């Protein structure tokens, strides 16, 4: 097995590995690369919903997303689908999965079934680098702050997805909880500080109003998405991206009108996030 950092601000390609036949040593090396580079990529994998689930389970217990449509033959696998009639794709803005949970998922493993001839790449942004690029003064300020995250405005009744009624989401009534997390977390595996706010799910700084929070959050969103902090993955059928929700954001590009893109996603459990203190 070989781990090669990709060009850009995050990511590594893992070559010479079959996700259906992982050794314990390979699992540990992949988890180290996952925490260090924020996302690992694999090519030419042959996975069924059952074997994708089994591969993902090697990295931790499965966390079944309550809002995504399920694959008919394996309801613990989510379908990430865009067909020609859908008004938009899934994940088409910078976010990290499950930050609205008090125990957010550690990672998501996405497998490409059908990809468009052109377009449909996914971008990732490195939240270690975003944090490191800030001034010492802002770093110290952020280290004392927490932020409130929610799924209600995205997946809840009357939220973003329900307004579009495209049939790809379920259980809107379960979007009830909010979660509070430190703005700068200590990454559970690497121990490094990472910025942990995102445009999709973060509502405001804890104890601040939305209006007070927005200028700071918008500044941080701009920093996070700087090209130097990002990488971009071009999918092929059989490609896998396994990203770390604590170390990266991701953004699925919606640039393939009229074409179909079908992916299967398995999400892996994480846990409580603790604050980083220098
Ligand atoms: O389809 C993609 O590339 C990513 C979609 C997404 O945000 C997700 O599956 O969490
Ligand atoms: Fe996502």
pLDDT exceeds 90 at position 168: no
Is residue 276 one of the residues assigned to a domain? no
Where does residue 90 fall: left (phi above 0), alpha (psi -120 to 50 degrees), or beta otherwise? beta
**64: confidence class by pLDDT, cuts 50, 70, 90:** confident
Would 277 be classed as within a structural domain?
no
CA–CA dist 2, 13 (Å, integer): 8
Name the residue among 60, 142, 55 with its Cα closest to residue 103: 60
Q: Is the residue at 162 inside a domain?
A: yes
Residue located nearest, by CA, to atom 1 of ligand 1: 252
Over residues 255-259, the mean pLDDT reads: 97
Look at residue 118 and tell me if it is in a domain: yes
The catalytic position among 34, 95, 246, 264 is 95
* pLDDT of amino acid 164: 66
The residues facing 45 across adjacent strands are none
Whether 171 has a pLDDT exceeding 90, the answer reads no
Q: What is the pLDDT of residue 160?
A: 73
Pairing of strands 12-15, 74-82: unpaired
Q: Whose CA is nearest to atom 6 of ligand 1?
A: 91
Residue 278 in domain: no
214-239 pLDDT, tens digit each: 999 999 999 999 999 999 999 999 99
Residue 273 lies in a domain: no
- Which CATH number do you get for residue 244? 3.60.130.10
The answer to whether residue 76 sits within a structural domain is yes
- Index of the ligand 1 atom closest to the CA of residue 110: 9
**pLDDT score for 165:** 66
Q: What is the phi/psi pair of residue 204, to 5°?
A: -165, 165
pLDDT above 90: residue 30: yes
CB 16 within 8 A of CB 2: yes
What's the domain range around 63? 2-268
The mean pLDDT of 226-255, rounded to a whole number, is 98
234: Cα within 13 Å, side-chain hemisphere: 5
| pLDDT score of 36 more than 80 | yes
**Total structural domains in the chain?**
1
Spatial CA neighbour of 130 closest among 47, 75, 199: 199
Domain assignment of residue 139, yes or no? yes
Q: Which atom of ligand 1 is nearest to the CA of 108?
A: 10
DSSP codes of every residue in 108-134: EEEEEEE--SS---EEEEEHHHHHHTS
The whole-number average pLDDT for the span 15-19 is: 98
Active site residue 265: yes
pLDDT band at 79 (very low <50, low <70, confident <90, very high): very high
| 92-96, 162-166, 272-276, range with the lowest pLDDT | 162-166
- Least confident range from 33-37, 103-107, 154-158: namely 154-158
Residue nearest to atom 7 of ligand 1 (CA): 91
- Are 245 and 63 spatial neighbours (Cβ–Cβ below 8 Å)? no
- CA–CA distance, 32 with 28 (Å, rounded to integer): 6
Confidence at residue 205, expressed as pLDDT on a 0 to 100 scale: 98
Least confident of 71-75, 108-112, 134-138, 231-235: 71-75
Question: Is residue 69 scored above 90 in pLDDT?
Answer: no
pLDDT at 151: 86
């Amino acid at each position: 097995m070989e781990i090669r950092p990709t060009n850009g601000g995050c990511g590594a390609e893992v070559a010479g590995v079959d996700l259906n036949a992982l050794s314990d040593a390979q699992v540990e090396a992949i988890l180290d690369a996952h925490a260090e580079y924020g996302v690992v990529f694999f090519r030419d994998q042959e996975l069924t919903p059952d074997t994708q689930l089994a591969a993902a389970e090697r990295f931790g217990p499965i966390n079944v997303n309550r809002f995504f449509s399920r694959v008919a033959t394996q309801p613990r696998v989510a379908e990430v689908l865009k067909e020609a009639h859908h008004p938009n794709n899934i994940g088409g803005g910078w976010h990290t999965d499950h930050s609205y949970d008090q125990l957010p998922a550690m990672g998501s493993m996405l497998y490409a079934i059908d990809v468009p001839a052109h377009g449909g790449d996914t971008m990732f942004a490195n939240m270690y680098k975003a944090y490191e690029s800030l001034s010492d003064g802002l770093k110290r300020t952020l280290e004392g702050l927490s932020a409130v995250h929610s799924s209600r405005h995205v997946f809840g009744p009357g939220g973003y997805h329900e307004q579009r009624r495209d049939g790809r989401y379920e259980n809107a009534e379960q979007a009830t909880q909010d979660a509070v997390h430190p703005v700068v977390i200590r990454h559970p595996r690497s121990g490094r500080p990472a910025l942990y706010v995102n445009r999709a799910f973060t509502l405001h700084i804890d104890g601040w109003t939305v209006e007070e929070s927005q200028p700071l959050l918008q500044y941080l969103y701009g920093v996070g998405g700087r090209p130097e902090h990002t990488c971009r993955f071009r999918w092929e059928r059989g490609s896998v991206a396994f990203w770390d929700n604590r170390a990266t954001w991701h953004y699925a590009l919606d640039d393939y009108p009229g074409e179909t893109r079908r992916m299967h996603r398995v999400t892996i459990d994480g846990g409580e996030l603790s604050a980083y203190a220098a």
